Amino acid sequence: MKALQTISALAFALAFSASATPAFAADDAYSLTLKDHKFSPADFTIPAGKKVKVTVKNLDATPAEFESDDFKAEKVIPAGKQVDVYIGPLKAGTYEFHDEYHEAESKTRLTVK
DSSP collapsed to 3 states, 33-64: EEECCEEECCEEEECCCCCEEEEEEECCCCCE
| Nearest-angstrom CA–CA distance, 38 and 71 | 19
Over residues 27-42, the mean pLDDT reads 93
Q: Tell me: the pLDDT tens digits for 7-29? A: 554 444 445 444 444 455 556 89
How far is residue 82 from each of residues 31, 70, 97, measured CA to CA in Å?
A: 10, 22, 17
The answer to whether position 8 is within a domain reads no
User: How many domains in the chain?
Assistant: 1
Q: What is the residue range of 51's domain?
A: 23-112
Over residues 86-100, the mean pLDDT reads 97
Q: How far is CA 80 from the centre of its chain?
A: 18
> Could you tell me the CATH number of the domain that includes residue 78?
2.60.40.420
Burial class (CB in 10 A: 0-12, 13-18, 19+), 101: middle
| pLDDT confidence of residue 28 | 80
The answer to whether position 69 is within a domain reads yes
